Amino acid sequence: ISYDLLLSAGIDLVSLCLILKQEERGELIQPVLFVLLVLVSVLLYFAVSLMDPGFVLSDGSDLQFTLGIAEETQDMIPPTTKSLRQRRCGHCLLQPMRSKHCQTCQHCVRRYDHHCPWIENCVGERNHRWFVLYLAVQLLVLLWGLHMAWSGFTTAPTWQLWLRGNGVLLGTVAVVAVLSLTVLLLLGSHLYLVSLNTTTWEFMSRHRISYLKHCGSEENPFDRGALRNLWGFFCNWGAIVWEQVYFREGNDPI
């Protein structure tokens, strides 16, 4: 929480100074819109950090659901191939496909992507799209704040006087620029992985994942094309049974 709140507080401090300057010139629309965007970013942060990322329930309902899916997929497997080996977790019993046990949260998470220290929560099936939206809004805030801070520089006859009058603002611009680059890289990497219908965990550890390690380095059993992957990620709000998607594509069982 400290990252986002400190970042928002720092940007708000810079924007407040610029608002006071623009108020003298009678310009208030852009700074007010900027502050509203910062508030949206903070609300998204709390929503993503407090949201259930897709924890696999331990009350038996998820266990029955997974067992039912396993029985259904057995009918989809050719008789010449080996039987389906159900994935198991030492803490949460059966694991649905694409889920992983998070050692920090102590839960299995559906379509696990990663555990994010920024939001102090896992990123999974239920909050991944909101996490990407949060990154996009955060990037807009940072770039807008960078533009506003840059426009706040004043001129001076010598560079010593300029540095004395703009030193704090220059430091703020440097920090915001680094954060902007970091968020841009994060957002770009997540959109790239989403377009492939893979997760950070699957991308980094596919050689150790039972249902992916037998696939070729360029083969992804969940990939349906970039446009369909993006549409499904952002517009499909229902739960997806990945076992059915996996075997529908004609892959060998795990």
What are the residue numbers of the active site?
116
Residue 146 phi, psi (nearest 5): -65, -40
How many residues make up the chain in this entry? Answer: 254
Helices 29-50 and 2-24: crossing angle, nearest 10°? 170
Residue 106 phi, psi (nearest 5): 60, 40
Write the Ramachandran bin of 169: left for phi over 0, alpha for psi from -120 to 50, otherwise beta: alpha
SS3 239: coil
Q: Tell me which DSSP letter residue 209 carries.
A: -
